[in-house]
């Protein structure tokens, strides 16, 4: 097992990364109070819920569960209310801990519920997908979607602890594994050329679910995110770099309908669009763009999205959280391994990059 820490002063918390982790011993110091609400979904519950109930009951805690339907399309206020209903029906109070057992949707919703319930209760993350292990479980961003934009309603709510168990990835569908690899690739492209080389050398093993390689990828990804979050918790500057590909990707998700494409699939194509625009601006070479596409394709991810009318694509981008004072900011590549946040881009070149990376209608 490897351990990282997100350094946030007195809110410092660990990320445990390994295979077949022992939740009873690892969670004991971090579950405050006697009440634990486990939030999970209909896919994860049959696989792992009993294991965590048994482990936490052994700590002498009172446990209740909330099982939500599985899918991005349920990441909304209606299903968020089901968590509040569950907490209120069992009479939990401000001494409760909300434990998220699932992927990014469950983590975001459970975290947001924990931030709101009685104005804030404790929160624990047990991410069960690669994407949530390397990205959404770390850093405290929580929230729900709105028809006009993804993750537009939420709160910053840091967990007490994160448990990333590689053994749980054995039950992950291939498509979900690839979606997680999109976020892994993101960390390499935005800030670590050596990591990109490592991914190029080991992508076949990652796709083949080599547990040691997956643990290394999770560790290196989380180390990048932990450092950035410690420097910029509320995304006032550097943390926006973590949105490489996301402004384009969120537009794809919003247009297609949440859940039609997985988040990682949309981000993958979004990163290609960002790299394409960077190349058109003369920042990276044509060879760098092809290298970006190749590593994404090797992860079994799309490099083109379905045809989307340009005016609608741009309208969704205008709702992005990185719009500041009416101006869209993009995360682009100065070079492979060096991303920047900028307003200084040619809108016509951006349109060309969007259209070049769509399937023909």
119 an active-site residue? Answer: yes
220 an active-site residue? Answer: no
| CA of residue 66 relative to chain centroid, distance | 21
141 an active-site residue? Answer: yes
**Catalytic annotation, pick one of 119, 325, 344, 360:** 119
61-72 b/e (C-beta count within 10 Å ≥ 16 → b): bebbbbbbebeb
Q: 270 near 252, Cβ under 8 Å?
A: yes
79 an active-site residue? Answer: no
**Catalytic annotation, pick one of 61, 79, 224, 246:** 246
**Catalytic annotation, pick one of 220, 250, 293, 322:** 250
Q: Give the alpha-carbon dihedral of 154, 118, 123, 104, to 10 degrees.
A: -30
**Catalytic annotation, pick one of 145, 151, 243, 357:** 243
146 an active-site residue? Answer: no
225 an active-site residue? Answer: yes
Q: 178 near 90, Cβ under 8 Å?
A: no
**Catalytic annotation, pick one of 176, 183, 216, 233:** 183
239 an active-site residue? Answer: yes
**Catalytic annotation, pick one of 61, 79, 141, 220:** 141
235 an active-site residue? Answer: yes
**Catalytic annotation, pick one of 263, 280, 293, 329:** 263
DSSP states of 17-71: EESS--HHHHHTTT--SSEEEEEEETTTIIIIIHHHHHHHHTTT-EEEEEEEPPS
**Catalytic annotation, pick one of 235, 321, 322, 329:** 235
Pairwise CA distance, residues 283 & 67, whole Å: 47
Cβ neighbours around 207 below 10 Å, total: 16
**Catalytic annotation, pick one of 220, 224, 239, 293:** 239
**Catalytic annotation, pick one of 225, 293, 322, 329:** 225
Residues belonging to the active site: 119, 141, 183, 225, 235, 239, 243, 246, 250, 263
């Amino acid at each position: 097992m490897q351990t990282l820490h997100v350094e946030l002063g007195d809110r410092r918390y660990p990320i445990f990364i390994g295979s077949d982790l022992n939740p009873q011993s690892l969670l004991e110091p971090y579950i405050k109070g006697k009440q634990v609400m486990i939030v999970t979904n209909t896919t994860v519950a049959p696989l792992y819920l009993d294991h965590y109930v048994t482990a936490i009951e052994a700590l002498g805690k009172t446990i209740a569960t909330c099982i939500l339907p599985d899918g991005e399309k349920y990441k909304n206020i209606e299903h968020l209310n089901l968590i509040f209903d569950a907490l209120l029906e069992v009479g939990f109070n401000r001494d409760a801990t909300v434990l998220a057992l699932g992927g990014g949707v469950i983590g975001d919703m459970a975290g947001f519920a924990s931030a709101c319930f009685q104005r804030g209760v404790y929160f624990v993350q047990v991410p069960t997908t690669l994407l949530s292990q390397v990205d959404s479980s770390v850093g405290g961003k929580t929230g729900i979607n709105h028809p006009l934009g993804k993750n537009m309603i939420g709160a910053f709510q840091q967990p007490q602890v994160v448990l990333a168990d590689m053994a749980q990835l054995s039950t992950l569908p291939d498509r979900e594994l690839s979606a997680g690899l999109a976020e892994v690739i993101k960390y390499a492209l935005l800030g670590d050329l050596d990591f990109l080389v490592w991914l190029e050398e080991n992508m076949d093993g990652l796709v083949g679910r080599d547990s040691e390689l997956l643990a290394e990828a999770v560790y290196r990804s989380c180390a990048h995110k932990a450092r950035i979050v410690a420097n910029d918790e509320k995304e006032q500057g550097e943390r926006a770099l973590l949105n490489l590909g996301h402004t384009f990707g969120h537009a794809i998700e919003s247009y297609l309908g949440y859940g039609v494409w997985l988040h990682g699939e949309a981000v993958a194509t979004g990163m290609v669009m960002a790299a394409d625009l960077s190349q058109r601006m003369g920042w990276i070479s044509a060879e760098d763009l092809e290298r970006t596409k190749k590593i994404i394709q090797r992860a079994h991810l799309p490099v083109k999205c379905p045809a989307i009318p340009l005016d609608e694509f741009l309208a969704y981008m205008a709702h992005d959280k990185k719009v500041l004072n009416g101006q869209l900011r993009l995360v682009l590549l100065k070079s492979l391994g060096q991303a920047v946040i900028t307003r200084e881009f040619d809108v016509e070149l951006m349109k060309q990059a969007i259209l070049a990376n769509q399937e023909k209608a």
